[in-house]
Amino acid sequence: MEDATEPLLVSGSDHGCVGRKKAPAGAVFTREEGDIEPIGGVGDFWREFAAEFRKLWYLTGPAIFTSVYQYSLGAVTQMVAGHVGTLELAAVSVENSVITGFSFGVMLGMGSALETMCGQAYEAGQLDMLGVYMQCSWVVVLAVALLLAPFYMFAAPLLQLIGQTPEILRAAGRFALWMLPQLFTYAVNFPIAKFPQA
């Protein structure tokens, strides 16, 4: 990165990758690009606004898309359960709020450590450590997922401790077993999501 003309974001074809499209002109950032020219009128404003808007969506579009679909999973599951019956809706709501909510928080916190480590490695110029940190994060977060798996397997007794009704806790316990694979997808997904953010 000693060459000041090297773009900070480039498409794969610029590095010899075959089959990838070249990045749009508004999505390549260079250090010498500088600040925008002074805005002299409405036309200048809209031109600069459109250029910045394209750059912003190029950078944040994939993250927005991923977040919307990740967080809508619980809402869609609850809507479908609501059409099945009130007991099923209550079971899904309790499982999503208590069991999955707790696991989600722990896994997100563990995955967020990668963001800090990769940011520090990048700033220190240790680019070879980025992949190592990503792999270590997967191992650690998957180990935490194994430790959290009993919360899913024994959801019914845990929900009984907090005073849930027997019908709801039995249904939520069965549903929690079906949601156990979600825990391991979180373990893989959170480091992948945090890695580019670093």
Q: Higher model confidence: residue 81 or residue 35?
A: 81
pTM for this predicted structure = 0.66
* Average pLDDT along the chain: 82
Asked if residue 48 is part of any domain, the answer here is no
Residue 80, domain extent: 73-197
How far, in Å, CA of 19 to CA of 101, rounded?
41
Asked if residue 131 is part of any domain, the answer here is yes
C-alpha closest to that of 100 among 89, 108, 111? 108
The whole-number average pLDDT for the span 72-85 is 89
Q: Which pLDDT score, from 0 to 100, does residue 40 have?
A: 85
Q: Which pLDDT score, from 0 to 100, does residue 23 have?
A: 46
Q: Which pLDDT score, from 0 to 100, does residue 18 have?
A: 47
Distances (CA, A) of 42 to 46, 50, 52, 86, 172: 6, 12, 15, 56, 58
Q: Which pLDDT score, from 0 to 100, does residue 32 have?
A: 62
Question: How many structural domains compose the chain?
Answer: 1
Asked if residue 97 is part of any domain, the answer here is yes
Q: Which pLDDT score, from 0 to 100, does residue 181 have?
A: 92
Asked if residue 142 is part of any domain, the answer here is yes
Asked if residue 120 is part of any domain, the answer here is yes
